[in-house]
Amino acid sequence: MAMKKSDTAVEDITGDLAVETFGVSKSYGQVRAVDEISVKVESGHYFVLLGPSGGGKTTLLRLIGGFVRPDAGRVLLHGQEVSNLPPNKRSTSMVFQSYALFPHMSVEKNVAYGLKLLKLPAPEITEKVASILELVGLKGYNGRMPHELSGGQQQRVQLARSLVLESDILLLDEPLASLDANLRKDMCHELKRIQEQVGITFIHVTHNQEEALTIADRIAIIADGKMIEEGVPKEIYEWPRKKFTADFIGQNNLIDGKIIGIDGNHVTIDLGFATVTVPRSEQSPDKGAEVTVSVPAEMIEITKEAPQDNEVSQFLQVVYEKETYLGFGSQHQILLPDGNGFVAMTKSSGEPFRLTHGDIAYIVWPTASARLHTS
């Protein structure tokens, strides 16, 4: 197996590229499943394709793996053109959403299947299978049948069956979708541990943002067949560049407005019923432009008293609607003066919340926490 990857910063895409696509497109009839997507994946990274169902993530993964061919564009693996090569001629292995285990074969025989097709010597197969089963936490399960395994264990067998082939790139299509929430969290950490230990490139498709944020070195947001944006998890979550990302990731409140002033590093936005100040972004347009402001729900404080004007925070007068208790905290529904809804998240304090339906209140958030989007 490959050695553990180096500590190279994931933000710097300057190393060996495991995967490059250049304007790849794929249509099925009138549906443009993938629309001119260009992406770069550095070797040894855990790269996640994240987005809503039907957005083109799996089609892009299958284009990389050779299961479908692009209508246009190119696919390169380690700098070599592979656009027209079949899967068995590429340095990739695939983990499918369904477990796809042979029900009549033991764990050991399922994992060894691909090695036998390669006609490796029996002692070498036995050694490789034992090593990979230990890696995925299934040491001693050699003789078990698939029906004797839990969902998580079956997923580990499928992972082992792909890893044992020692491909340079592992493609994972919604590998945790059929697992319950607690098991999914455990398997996220396991996948990350395994990827770091073997040091190869993982490209993982999911619609689950928590899953993506937990395991990814880098995330590409895919929707409507297009690449929306790409970056490290913290950047994608805290500094989304696109309106779609702000709406899809986390729990952000979106408000439309118009730029009425630009002062250094800040922009003043007219919301129609109030003005707010937002940090200026690299893509900040000129005065008069229509924009969208996003405010994270977890950054909002709710108060009965009107805050004093200051540069470090923004506030709006609102009408309080209701509280939904979530255990770790509460979700609060709020109405803005224009009738649009707003959401705030607060942590449990042990004290009763003192606002009720219809109360006039104020929402306050740090100026630095809001983001500006043009598209």
| 124 domain residue, yes or no | no
Q: Is the distance from CB of 78 to CB of 49 less than 8 angstroms?
A: no
**Can you list the residues of the chain whose pLDDT is less than 50?**
1-14
Claim to verify: residue 75 and residue 204 sit in the same structural domain: yes
Residue at a domain's end among 193, 211, 238: 238
Both tokens of residue 207?
A: 């619609």
Claim to verify: residue 59 and residue 190 sit in the same structural domain: yes
Number of compact structural domains in the chain: 2
| The pLDDT value given to residue 183 | 84
| 345 domain residue, yes or no | yes
DSSP H or E segment with residue 26: strand 17-28
Alpha helices, DSSP H only, in the chain?
57-65, 107-117, 122-135, 151-163, 181-198, 209-215, 233-238, 243-248
- Tell me what percent of the residues of the chain surpass a pLDDT of 70: 96
Segment 147-180, tens digit of pLDDT: 999 888 998 999 999 999 999 999 999 988 888 8
The set of residues, in sequence order, having a beta carbon less than 8 Å from that of 1 and lying 6+ positions away, is 131, 135, 163, 166, 197, 198, 199
Rounded to two decimals, what is the model's pTM?
0.89
300: domain CATH number is: 2.40.50.100
| 193 domain residue, yes or no | yes
Claim to verify: residue 218 and residue 259 sit in the same structural domain: no
Residue at a domain's end among 238, 271, 296: 238
Both tokens of residue 300?
A: 């909002």
Claim to verify: residue 202 and residue 303 sit in the same structural domain: no
26: domain CATH number is: 3.40.50.300
Claim to verify: residue 176 and residue 255 sit in the same structural domain: no
CB atoms within 10 A of CB 7: 6
| The pLDDT value given to residue 26 | 98
Claim to verify: residue 215 and residue 298 sit in the same structural domain: no
Claim to verify: residue 179 and residue 223 sit in the same structural domain: yes
Segment 358-374, tens digit of pLDDT: 999 999 999 999 999 98
| 9 domain residue, yes or no | no
| The pLDDT value given to residue 2 | 38
| 243 domain residue, yes or no | no
Claim to verify: residue 270 and residue 346 sit in the same structural domain: yes
321: containing domain: 251-373
| The pLDDT value given to residue 15 | 55
Claim to verify: residue 317 and residue 361 sit in the same structural domain: yes
Claim to verify: residue 282 and residue 318 sit in the same structural domain: yes
| The pLDDT value given to residue 313 | 94
| 67 domain residue, yes or no | yes
| 130 domain residue, yes or no | no
Angle at which helices 151-163 and 122-135 cross, to 10°: 130
Pairing of strands 92-95, 31-42: unpaired
Both tokens of residue 318?
A: 């609102």
Claim to verify: residue 279 and residue 342 sit in the same structural domain: yes
Residue at a domain's end among 238, 264, 280: 238
Starting at the edge strand found earlier in the chain, the sheet holding 17-28 runs: 31-42, 17-28, 72-77, 80-81
Query: What is the Cα–Cα distance from 249 to 14, expressed in whole angstroms?
Result: 27
Claim to verify: residue 218 and residue 357 sit in the same structural domain: no
| 190 domain residue, yes or no | yes
